[in-house]
Amino acid sequence: AQSVAQPEDQVNVAEGNPLTVKCTYSVSGNPYLFWYVQYPNRGLQFLLKYITGDNLVKGSYGFEAEFNKSQTSFHLKKPSALVSDSALYFCAVRDMTGGYQKVTFGTGTKLQVIP
Amino acid sequence: GAGVSQSPSNKVTEKGKDVELRCDPISGHTALYWYRQSLGQGLEFLIYFQGNSAPDKSGLPSDRFSAERTGGSVSTLTIQRTQQEDSAVYLCASSSWTSGRAGETQYFGPGTRLLVL
């Protein structure tokens, strides 16, 4: 069975500082990893994904994530946080084992960027 | 429209009543997903459709929950005899996944906020 863990319910960071939102995963096959963001009173939006290739993936709004196979992690990062980055962030994993593509989401991490 | 749409946006119902939630995916998207998001909780997978068939119904919480999809497009999630614990935001997503292309992105609708009194 596949699973995703986001160990932090909330992350607080000062505006202008680098931010990291953590995600670890467990799959039986090759992982396909995603980050989504949910702004207040809005639907989930795709940020970035890792399928194969370069371990550092760049996405929307200046975010990036690093795939680390040995640590089974896919942490989301941004060099300089903005107040507008404050939102709920979800990590997700898809495993093709079994022939269909169930996606499992983490419980989410609330990012609060402090002016 | 260009995105995934869901209706109604809000639904208030009394305990014991049945409700139907509708999802209209992006045109041409073959895969459709239903999730539930409760206050303070993550996304709980409910069911997934590939075309009109549902290979994975493992997430449906009980036999009061059912879903169907017709014509490879619109899907309806039905909750019978609603309970207060069913109160949540129900999200629908679609993707253009085809066999072997597991990297397809899901596009989410705005959700239906259900409140069971």
Please give the residue that has the higher pLDDT: either B103 or A95: A95
d(CA B21, CA A108): 24
Q: Which two tokens stand for residue A39?
A: 């702004």
- Please tell me the predicted confidence (pLDDT) of residue A97: 65
Beta bridge partners of B114: B11, B88
- Compare all CA atoms of chain B with the CA of A96 and give the residue at the minimum distance: B102
Residue A98 has pLDDT above 90, yes or no: no
3-state SS record for chain A: CCEEECCCCEEEEECCCCEEECCEEECCCCEEEEEEEECCCCCEEEEEEECCCCCEEECHHHCEEEEECCCCEEEEEECCCCHHHCEEEEEEEEECCCCCCCEEECCCEEEEEEC
Give the percent of chain B with pLDDT over 70: 92
Examine the pLDDT at A17 and tell me if it is beyond 90.
yes
Q: What percent of chain A has pLDDT over 70?
A: 95
Residue of B nearest to A106 (CA): B42
Which member of B4, B43, B50 has the closest CB to residue A100? B50
Residue bearing the bigger pLDDT, B58 or A25: A25
User: Which pLDDT score is estimated for B76?
Assistant: 97
Please name the residue that has the structure tokens 């760049």: A58
Closest CA to A36 of A94, A112, A113, A106: A106
Interface residues of A toward B, Cβ cutoff 8 Å, are 6, 32, 34, 36, 42-46, 49, 51, 90, 94, 96, 100-108
The list of chain B residues with pLDDT below 70 reads 1, 40, 97-103
Of A34, A51, A108, the CB nearest to B42: A108
Please tell me the predicted confidence (pLDDT) of residue B101: 57
Give pLDDT, residue B40: 66
Tens digit of pLDDT for each residue in A77-87? 999 999 999 99
pLDDT of A23 strictly over 90:
yes
Give chain B positions within 8 Å (CB) of A21: none
How confident is the model at residue B30, as a pLDDT?
A: 87
Residues on chain A touching B43 (C-beta within 8 angstroms): 44, 90, 105, 108
Q: Which of the pair, A66 or B57, is modelled with greater confidence? A: A66
Q: What is the predicted pLDDT for the residue at A96?
A: 65
pLDDT at residue A102 tops 80: no
Contact A101 B48 (CB under 8 A): yes
Which residues of chain B are within 8 Å of residue A107 when distances are taken between CB atoms?
41-42
For chain A, say whether B34 makes contact (Cβ under 8 Å): no
